[in-house]
Structure 1
């Protein structure tokens, strides 16, 4: 029985898809990435904002059309869409779907597949999910074999006013340090990994529910004991500015196995906006954190995101945000317009900003950041960077693509590698940077000196 799993949305969803795949492989299902050549299509959905819902529904309807044409037999919907909407809403709007499964059912996927094959139309969703995969959960990587995401926790307790994640994913629940370490070691044994990327809805909150105090530094300390090359690296995504502490910052500064790269979503800098967003941190503490991180980690790449057009955002708030971006010169910035989700706290706020104004603010802020990004990229021309080669560029088979410590996969730009060879894929190479652009670099591979 051939199963195609389409994973939509974030890397956290991708890990769930990998666990689903591993569970099915263990039961002798065949996993294929060709939806035209499968018996069952599983769409692992994202739905935290309306555009993600629309993308998920589009993917489901495309699979349903293949089913109608007789090219596939069954369509199953997993993930956030199943968690967000009621059984009645989903079955009425998507009658073509043969089964809906929620987060808690990930570990039971083989059993649910049997129900689907018997045409029982299962709807298996726990509205307060508590599932947490562990080191014994089988996984089949969807990423290239040289890097993997490692989910250290599930759920969220932050209750940001614009976000549905706590409602969809449930409360924050950390895996134990021992479980995370064991899975990391299992992955290293099974795959030629060069990079492990730690993810959660909020990685800096890790451990508070289990140990009564922040424990990310303790987890990182344990992970530095992994039995792999000292040149390999650990990257951390999805940190929350309100949950850093000195122990974590000091450890990041002192340990060379941890990428000098931090994903630090700030969302805004105006105190009035931060309060309305329920970010649990103010402007002064954000600035103190940034200055401390840069002082302790001189080579640090800081990536952040901002939301423009949040309800009540005035011209003064937006101008304050623009000045902040100009003053603090982030290496990587993503800007998003606020999506009005009626089910969120902010969906009930007055003073909604018009779509036209949102778009203008997004364009203005991105133009500011584009100049900053280009300036920072140009400082790398002539430098030699240690780069992990991810694959072949679509610009030509003789051009490779790679990433230094300053680039996370998928979300950041890349480095185009000239004069490389296929054997370099999945390995570290030294690249001399020759050209710089706002969102990517170009360079030539240096010959080994033997």
Structure 2
């Protein structure tokens, strides 16, 4: 992307929340750079314009977003920055309240108001940049958002309030962006959406994720394609057929399940039973031997009894998920769950979250110890002191296991694929010795 003369202003884009927010920030940065702005991301360098891209998912995320806005509002009052803009989910959901309570912000924008934000900065929205995107991740991997919004009606979730209905991106546009990424050194694509399995229903009138996977796998230079955020109800099982047949599609699925009690699942409006999920996981493990299932569970949903929590613990012990995270229920305005009492005390929620993670720690350790002596393919993410740090196809950045390789064994580069032998294991990490460095 060529520029002539940079503007005198410098912009710092601050990203809070999930990888979907990160993609939005990268799109903001791409557009501003095309308009000759100097732009940093999450930088400590001095900038006179700050854009805070907020998260409004749960209480802790909202608190972090508000505190960040207040911090930069204070800096503006002290004259350290000239302009402050806020965008993202919190701004979409609480714009009127934020305008009243934090008037130091120059303007607030919702999740789909990028052209308006650019206009305030006297920048043009450049449609010809579709398919191109500046990435803030290490250059060997990138997130590819395949759709926006969600049509599900889970009782606890406010995401449809902030992101709207499901809208798929055209397949041609996604392939074009993947091709651009590959030409710039990206080897791993992480497909993200609020709900991956809905992809294509709106524009192709059928679930088109399997077709998209085949099209992306055909992009030269892309080695790994990873799937994040699928929904278990009416899951299109042909995705597993593509995963089994296509080497570039990682044997990995992020599928938040939320609970293991039928009564709680019904109150959550999840449209799925525990037996449905057990059947789906069994099918996945038969069709794709060795698949890693990442999931999340929600503890402390209104009315959750100790017996219902124990059902979830039993479910986790039976299923032996490869990767698992836990959230504590957050009482969200304008959701249907907000109409009932948030009656599980905070200390009970925290205790249940800890107990569930203790179960998972034992499972994770046993599964990792079973890897000792195995040969595995690892993608190198970074070097930390005396170790290179990488991931297998069963691990996503920031949330999953890492593989530690002593730096004195070989000279490795970020983005290298390495064949290793696993030598040691802990609950969440593996150690390995280098066998072969691939030439990709």
TM-score (norm 2): 0.93
User: 2:3 aligns to what?
Assistant: none
- Cα distance 1:402–1:16, how it changes in 2: closer, same or farther (>3 A)? same
Mapped pair 1:219 → 2:227: no
Match of 1:80 among 72, 89, 99: 89
TM-align CA RMSD: 2.0
Match of 2:294 among 294, 303, 316: 303
SS of 2:142's partner is strand
Match of 2:237 among 241, 246, 249: 246
User: 1:198 aligns to what?
Assistant: 191
Match of 1:167 among 153, 161, 169: 161
SS of 1:446's partner is strand
SS of 2:372's partner is coil
User: 1:3 aligns to what?
Assistant: 11
Per-residue deviation, 1:431: 2.3
- What per-residue deviation string (whole Å, max 9, x for no partner) do you get for residues 115-159 of structure 1? 9xxxxxxxxxxxxxxx9x997164210100000000000000102
User: 1:120 aligns to what?
Assistant: none
Is the 8 Å Cα contact of residues 20 and 139 (structure 1) preserved in structure 2?
A: no
User: 1:43 aligns to what?
Assistant: 52
Is the 8 Å Cα contact of residues 198 and 237 (structure 1) preserved in structure 2?
A: yes
Is the 8 Å Cα contact of residues 430 and 446 (structure 1) preserved in structure 2?
A: yes
- What per-residue deviation string (whole Å, max 9, x for no partner) do you get for residues 361-419 of structure 1? 111111111100000011111222111111122xx1x3121111111011112122213
Mapped pair 1:416 → 2:404: yes
Instruction: Provide the rounded CA distance (Å) in 2 between the counterparts of 1:266 and 1:360.
Output: 20
- Cα distance 1:134–1:445, how it changes in 2: closer, same or farther (>3 A)? farther
Per-residue deviation, 1:299: 1.4
Alignment of 1:242-391 (within 5 A): 242-350=233-341, 352-391=343-382
Match of 1:113 among 114, 121, 126: 121
Structure 1 unmatched ranges of 5 or more: 116-130
User: 1:136 aligns to what?
Assistant: 130
Instruction: Provide the rounded CA distance (Å) in 2 between the counterparts of 1:104 and 1:261.
Output: 30
User: 2:4 aligns to what?
Assistant: none
- Cα distance 1:292–1:15, how it changes in 2: closer, same or farther (>3 A)? same
How many residues are treated as equivalent by the alignment?
427
Stretches of 4+ moved more than 4 A in 1? Answer: 420-423, 447-450
Per-residue deviation, 1:63: 1.6
> 210-219 or 135-144, which moves further after superposition?
135-144
Match of 1:400 among 388, 397, 402: 388
Per-residue deviation, 1:287: 0.8
- What per-residue deviation string (whole Å, max 9, x for no partner) do you get for residues 5-62 of structure 1? 1111000000000000000000000012434411111110001111111101111122
Is the 8 Å Cα contact of residues 419 and 438 (structure 2) preserved in structure 1?
A: no
TM-score (norm 1): 0.91
Is the 8 Å Cα contact of residues 91 and 109 (structure 2) preserved in structure 1?
A: yes
Structure 2 unmatched ranges of 5 or more: 1-8
SS of 1:424's partner is coil
Is the 8 Å Cα contact of residues 207 and 215 (structure 1) preserved in structure 2?
A: yes
Per-residue deviation, 1:192: 0.5
User: 2:105 aligns to what?
Assistant: 97
Per-residue deviation, 1:448: 4.9
Per-residue deviation, 1:355: 1.3
Is the 8 Å Cα contact of residues 378 and 417 (structure 2) preserved in structure 1?
A: yes
